[in-house]
Amino acid sequence: MTVGDFGEFSLVTRIARRLPQGDGVLLGPGDDAALVSVPDGRVVVSTDLLLEGRHFRRDWSSGQDIGRKAAAQNLADIAAMGARPTALLVGLGIPPDTSVAWVDELFDGLREECALVGASVVGGDIARSEAVMLGVTALGDLRDRAPVTRAGARPSDVVAVTGRLGHAAAGLALLTAGARDSGPLVDAHRRPRPPYAMGPRAAELGATAMLDVSDGLLQDLGHVAESSGVRIELDSAAFAVPRELRQAAAELGADPLTWVLTGGDDHALAAAFPAGIGLSGQWQVIGTVTEGRGVLVDGREYGRGGWDHFAV
């Protein structure tokens, strides 16, 4: 059965029944609006748009994969502010010949990713479109902490990352080269694994700036450098390039460090911390903050890289 056969109201009702609500949701899907508790009195909000053919391909990823990815990139934005995600709102555009089973998979993926952080899908909207389009808005709770922005890094801070870097880019390269079998790198492209808990933890440790790595480490750290009015200097020797990245790079004739420095969609967290703070082994120190502008690798500009949403 397709969504065109099913009808909008019946489809929305079906989806709502598949979405259990967390403790912070006072009123979930089914009315004109949801009602979510705000213990802190402030709400952290982020939104992203995912377009079929631009951000995902249905022949490469299942509906469940796409749901997990759509939720992950929004939940990671909330964590990168030092907040805990609480809720998602989802706007879905779909062709009328899309199967209802595929939509079920999509919302199963959204629900499963939210469950990792105790968040809920609390509502949204569905409309007909020529290709699948997802607009996701995430909400979060700071729990009485100040938000960690991109603008607080200061000279003498250290720069550290947590989570995977370069895996999703390598997976995309493998898929583009014709790989279809599942493997750790292809899976990383299909389903990011953001280190959600480390965002609030970084805030507790005193992080001065933070963001999630969605468009590539160099490009995203460039936003921190610009917002903070500083230079970030990275040491290439500080990056531990995993064996699977090296193997894929050898197979494709690529440089694995380029994937690490410029590849997006892993949604790792990068943060600046005052020097001397004891960071756990989950954080890898990769550089320092100095006077100046821009981002350097081993004292030099590395070159253009990262995701550009308007590139052809």
Task: Specify which residues 36 forms β-bridges with.
Answer: 25
Query: CATH 3.90.650.10 residue ranges in the chain?
Result: 158-297
Binding site members for Mg(2+): 32, 46-48, 77, 125, 212, 215
1-46 pLDDT, tens digit per residue, is 776 766 665 666 667 667 777 777 888 887 778 888 888 889 999 9
pLDDT score of 37: 84
What are 282-303's pLDDT values in tens digits? 999 999 999 999 999 999 998 7
CB atoms within 10 A of CB 162: 23
pLDDT of residue 33: 83
- Give, for 108, the enclosing helix (H) or strand (E): helix 100-115
Q: What is the pLDDT of residue 12?
A: 66
Helix (H) or strand (E) holding 84: strand 84-94
> pTM to 2 decimals?
0.91
The pLDDT confidence band at residue 204, using thresholds 50, 70 and 90, is very high
State the binding site for substrate.
55, 265, 307
DSSP state of 291: S
The fold for domain 158-297 equals Phosphoribosyl-aminoimidazole Synthetase; Chain A, domain 2 (3.90.650)
How high is the pLDDT of residue 9? 57
The residue behind tokens 């990823």 is 61
Q: Provide CATH code, domain 3-141.
A: 3.30.1330.10
Looking at the chain, which residues constitute the CATH 3.30.1330.10 domain(s)? 3-141
- Identify the residue with better confidence: 33 or 170: 170
Annotated binding site: 32, 46-48, 55, 77, 124-125, 150, 212, 214-215, 265, 307
Burial class of residue 45, CB neighbours in 10 A (0-12, 13-18, 19+): middle
Question: What pLDDT shows up at residue 266?
Answer: 96
**Mean local confidence (pLDDT), 212-236:** 97
Residue numbers belonging to the annotated binding site for ATP: 124-125, 150, 214
Mean of all residue pLDDT scores within the chain: 91
